[in-house]
Amino acid sequence: QVQLQESGPGLVKPSETLSLTCSVSGGSINSYYWSWIRQSAGKGLEWIGRIYMSGSTNYNPSLKSRVTMSVDTSKNQFSLKLRSVTAADTAIYYCARDGTYCSSSNICYKYFDYWGQGAQVTVSS
Amino acid sequence: EIVLTQSPGTLSLSPGERATLSCRASQSVSNSYLAWYQQKSGQAPSLLIYGASSRDTGIPDRFSGSGSGTDFTLTISRLEPEDFAVYYCQQFGSSPPTFGQGTKVEIK
């Protein structure tokens, strides 16, 4: 059973950089995309971006200028950095696996099939 | 980006009743890329339905999904006590992936 666990500071000062790591156990980080998703009272569930084992990334255009993701396949981990944070970045941050299933009739499905428990990050001085 | 609008915002029902949740997309979404999630208080969302109508492993058959194009529905045929939660639809058909704002199913 694949398990994901977020780790990182729970409190970040305004204008600083939010840094989180997601550790994957029970399966390899290889051959999947891995996403960061956040949840706040104001904006609901918001996809931040994804990374592949090669380091290839896709970011949400709304956050692209402030986001960097990286992957460490040797540690089965991937990470998120969000720069110049404000109170609007206060949220629960989840890491998740981008699941893909292709049927025998070559129809492929996509979904988020495994999620971490979430890490509360508060931006405050 | 594709905006998903869920209705109603809150559904107040009793155990044993039928719940019908709606998800409307601002643009057509391929059925393959429409999923539903359940979120219980203090927990991460968990996958219920993918491909608009396929139940994830272990999901009871009282949960069913239907729809196509811009209109999708999640139905819970007979509510069990553990089904009272928030439900989200999500699309993967167009980047960025987006979620609906959620429907809360609460005990009446």
Note the pLDDT tens digit of each residue in B39-94: 999 999 999 999 999 999 999 999 999 999 999 999 999 999 999 999 999 999 89
> A45 CB near a chain B CB, below 8 Å?
yes
Helix (H, G, I), strand (E, B) or coil at B9: coil
CB contact under 8 Å between B98 and A47, yes or no, is yes
pLDDT tens, residue by residue, A80-105: 999 999 999 999 999 999 998 888 88
Residues of chain B contacting residue A64, judged by C-beta atoms under 8 Å apart:
none
Structure tokens at A35: 């996403």
CB of A113 closer than 8 Å to CB of A1? no
Closest by Cβ to A111, choosing from B35, B43, B96? B35
Q: Which residue of B has its CA nearest to A118?
A: B44
pLDDT in the model for residue A16: 98
pLDDT for B5 beyond 90: yes
Burial class (CB in 10 A: 0-12, 13-18, 19+), B106: exposed
Question: What DSSP state is assigned to residue A25?
Answer: E
**Chain B residues with CB-CB distance to A62 below 8 A:** 96
For B9-24, write each residue's pLDDT tens digit: 999 999 999 999 999 9
The pLDDT value recorded for residue B51 is 94
Parallel, antiparallel, or unpaired: how do β-strands B10-13 and B103-107 relate?
A: parallel
Instruction: Kindly report the nearest CA distance between residue B97 and chain A, in angstroms.
Output: 6
B42 three-class SS: coil
**Alpha carbon of A16: minimum distance to chain B alpha carbons (Å):** 25
Confidence band (pLDDT; 50, 70, 90) for A107?
confident
Residue B35 in contact with partner chain A when CB distance is under 8 A:
yes
Selected for mutation to probe chain B from A110, A115, A117 (highest B CB count within 10 Å) is A110
